[in-house]
Structure 1
Amino acid sequence: MTTVIAFLAALALLIAVHEWGHYRVAKACGVKVLRFSIGFGRVVWRRIGRDGTEFTLSALPLGGYVRMLDERDGPVAPGERGQAFNQRPLRQRAAIVAAGPAANWVLAVLLFAAVAWLGSELPKAVLGTPPAGSLADQAGVRAGDWVQAVSADGQQWDAVESLADLQAAVARAQALGEPLHLSVGAPGHGTRSLRLETERLAGRAPDARLFLDIGLSPLAEPLIRQVAAAGPGAAAGLQAGDRVLTIDGQAVPDAGFLRDAIRRAHDGEQPRAMAWQVERAGHVVELQATPRVIEEGGQRIARLEIGVGGPPERVFVSHGLAGGLWRGVQQSWDMAATTLRLIGRILTGEAWPRNLSGPLTIADYAGQSAQAGLTPYLDFLAKISLSLAVLNLLPLPMLDGGHLMYHLFEGLSGRPVPERWQQFMQRIGALILLLMMALALSNDVARLAGWH
């Protein structure tokens, strides 16, 4: 129920803001608006505004529209011709079309800024032991390394305030097929620069196996958080609250080391018994643990079916009025640029279309963020609002970007796009959008079913 409510609330807000942008600029330009609708199909609620506009809610909430007086849609009374959309100057028509995506962009900036103003307590970007062979391991990451800044080229650096900043930078670099430089500091080792070769994982879908191959996780104590009742960890006698001291005589410094030791406890086919020393209620307990070997992401790994890791060190991140607003502008610009570059890579075959997400994934994220609290939900809304702005600016017929291309053609040629060409391109645009929606929905199903 939380997921459904959070998803519908997000849709209602983002669609209303988008259509409100079209509506307000149309009114400012003297165009008569006939209907402002949230949703399509059968009308379930309506109200007539003071200016004569019909405001409606319709049965299918996946979108909305603003219907304006237009001679191309039917006869217009002579006294109202000046209020018809098609009679307005080209610059006004273009402004009305662009106002929807612009409203979503402004909303994203304000929501990102609100997240920065409210602040939140986040894991600090102090890293644990990376899995053997992961990108972080090959880059030289050590337990206790604190990532203070990141860079795409090793020249211009962006400060890292929390683990969330680091994860966002890593995801962006991997999606774009670029390396990521890390500036890290550690007690007794000073500051050094590392190169994370995220370009080697370009095109991979963002799943659990990808995050394991990257190998960045927060530093956490080697504690047992939970033990599955029928799993091999429970059979070995492990209990929630145990602190792991050694495995096969080797000291366990952190949860990352512990996870990696468990994963590698097999000889390919058969699991290997491990000798554990754990601290329990002030006493040292020795036991033998034999994991279960499973196939995951095309590789065989060992599992004890336990949750490991104590709470990581956290830091409260917030910004003042001007700083938060500037952060909102930066985040929205960076995300828009990344999204466009990723779309370009998908179109050229350099990235997998698996990166496209549809309504099921969005709904799932809506529910998760709403359950996590106000700040995560606002951050989710900002990202979806910006994605909606960027998507609508793509030069595809049926989208705002396609109509802007018509206006650009008219501005350069001095004549509008012929009606028959508009109808033909509308059909092509509808087909492309349907294919994109089908692909995104299939990605959703595969992701939720665990097929990716």
Structure 2
Amino acid sequence: MDIAYYARMMSSFIVVLGVLIFVHELGHFLVAKWMHVTVLRFSLGFGPKLWGFTRGDTEYRISWIPLGGYVKMLGEDSEEDVTPEQMERSFSSQRVGKRMAIVMAGPLSNFVLAIVIFTLLFAFSGIREITTDIASVTQGSPAEKAGLKAGDKVIAIDGKPISTWYELSETVEARGEHPLLIRIQRGTETLDVAITPYMGEKESELKEKIKTPLIGVVASSNYFIKKINPLEAGYYSLLQTWHLTKFSITVVIKLIQRALPFNVLGGPILIAQMAGQQAEKGLLELINFIALISVNLAVLNLLPIPILDGGHIMFFLVEAVLGRPLGVKKIEMAQKVGMLLLLVLMAFVFYNDIMRLLPGQKPQLSP
């Protein structure tokens, strides 16, 4: 790999990370301003200041370490001195609902970013749909016994027109092991065949074996672009964002249950590699990648781990139930535990990333 490749990879990584961090922190910032809370600093990055300026009460800066960002509000630190005149606009003096809204705004902004990107992509570029062309037929399957062949195209099931592979799979799964009348197109010829699905196994998105009705056909790589109007694009963008959210939550649950190995996790190095790969495919692929990572970032930040947004929300919920905030020492202890968990997680993902870079090596961190 040459210098140009690494330069392209790093520039793509900086763009992806910069957009995601900016949108996330902008969510905190705008809601804080809307709630009349004084924002002391809006920073992209951590550590010493690289560049910045001050306008009004707020310092806007870019810092040296580009792996995150933060919005610092007046009174956010329990040890910070706040004068009586400033108290009304301090974070700590706000009602618990307002504080929760400010914290929630960051992850929600990442969800909104994904929805907006998907909507625009779908509206202008359409949706890629896999056709119903059959690439191969499984030996000994009901499809083979019924005479289906590679190259056949499914055009209807039980009289209902079928145009995408998703529709084909959904229809077969919905009917279970009941007989189906499948109409296929073979060249210029149209044929009707009766097929009874069987309960077989297929791989899920998480590479797990799941039981499902099958007829024994494999999709081709052929696809078509389905053009849709802006309203449909908005609907499909919500579906896509919801699907990615559920997938991310499922991965977290499977990791906790030890049903997935930790070597599936990736960190900044993997994201940089993937960003570079998407950039090579084109601008639209890179923008789509930003939306995908934005959903993952939102879900990650909502995990109930102290120091993350989800941890703060958890504290606020406890405060709402108890009618009083938790003690400072309890919160500090929980945040130390949260920081330790994040450091351990970072060690795992960096190890995985480095192992992926070594030729012939795979990370072996399965619990």
**What TM-score results when the alignment is normalised by the length of structure 1?**
0.64
Count of aligned residue pairs for this structure pair: 329
Are 2:136 and 1:129 equivalent residues in the alignment? yes
CA displacement 1:91-123 (0-9 Å, x = unmatched): 100000000001001001111112211216857
The answer for the alignment partner of 2:159 in structure 1 is none
The answer for the alignment partner of 1:65 in structure 2 is 70
Q: Distance in 1 between matches of 2:110 and 2:121?
A: 16
Listed as ranges, the matches of 1:22-33 within 5 Å are 22-33=28-39
Alignment partner of 1:18 out of 24, 43, 54? 24
SS in structure 2 at match of 1:129? strand
Is residue 129–residue 164 contact of structure 2 (8 Å, CA) maintained in 1?
A: no
CA displacement 1:147-202 (0-9 Å, x = unmatched): 899xxxxxxxxx98579x999x9xxxxxxxx99x8x98642356966766236996
Listed as ranges, the matches of 1:366-385 within 5 Å are 366-385=275-294
Is residue 161–residue 317 contact of structure 1 (8 Å, CA) maintained in 2?
A: no
Letter in 1 for 2:299: V
Q: Distance in 1 between matches of 2:351 and 2:114?
A: 27
Residues 200/102 of structure 1: CA separation in 2 closer, same or farther (3 Å cut): closer
Q: Distance in 1 between matches of 2:204 and 2:58?
A: 54
Alignment partner of 2:326 out of 410, 417, 427? 417
Alignment partner of 1:451 out of 344, 361, 364? 361
The answer for the alignment partner of 1:246 in structure 2 is none
RMSD: 3.7
SS in structure 1 at match of 2:260? coil
List alignment gaps of at least 5 residues for structure 2. Answer: 1-6, 157-161, 186-190, 210-215, 363-367
Q: Distance in 1 between matches of 2:163 and 2:110?
A: 27
Q: Distance in 2 between matches of 1:337 and 1:200?
A: 14
Q: Distance in 2 between matches of 1:357 and 1:166?
A: 33
Q: Distance in 1 between matches of 2:105 and 2:240?
A: 20
Q: Distance in 1 between matches of 2:105 and 2:332?
A: 23
List alignment gaps of at least 5 residues for structure 1. Answer: 150-158, 170-177, 206-214, 220-311
Are 2:317 and 1:408 equivalent residues in the alignment? yes
Residues 198/343 of structure 1: CA separation in 2 closer, same or farther (3 Å cut): farther
Alignment partner of 1:198 out of 199, 202, 220? 202
Are 2:315 and 1:437 equivalent residues in the alignment? no
Is residue 129–residue 226 contact of structure 2 (8 Å, CA) maintained in 1?
A: no
What's the offset of the Cα at 1:391? 0.4
The answer for the alignment partner of 1:272 in structure 2 is none
Q: Distance in 1 between matches of 2:155 and 2:334?
A: 49
CA displacement 1:254-310 (0-9 Å, x = unmatched): xxxxxxxxxxxxxxxxxxxxxxxxxxxxxxxxxxxxxxxxxxxxxxxxxxxxxxxxx
Q: Distance in 2 between matches of 1:46 and 1:91?
A: 32
Are 2:337 and 1:428 equivalent residues in the alignment? yes
Greater mean deviation of Cα atoms: 106-115 or 372-381: 372-381
What's the offset of the Cα at 1:27? 0.6
What's the offset of the Cα at 1:79? 1.2
Percent of paired sites with the same residue = 34
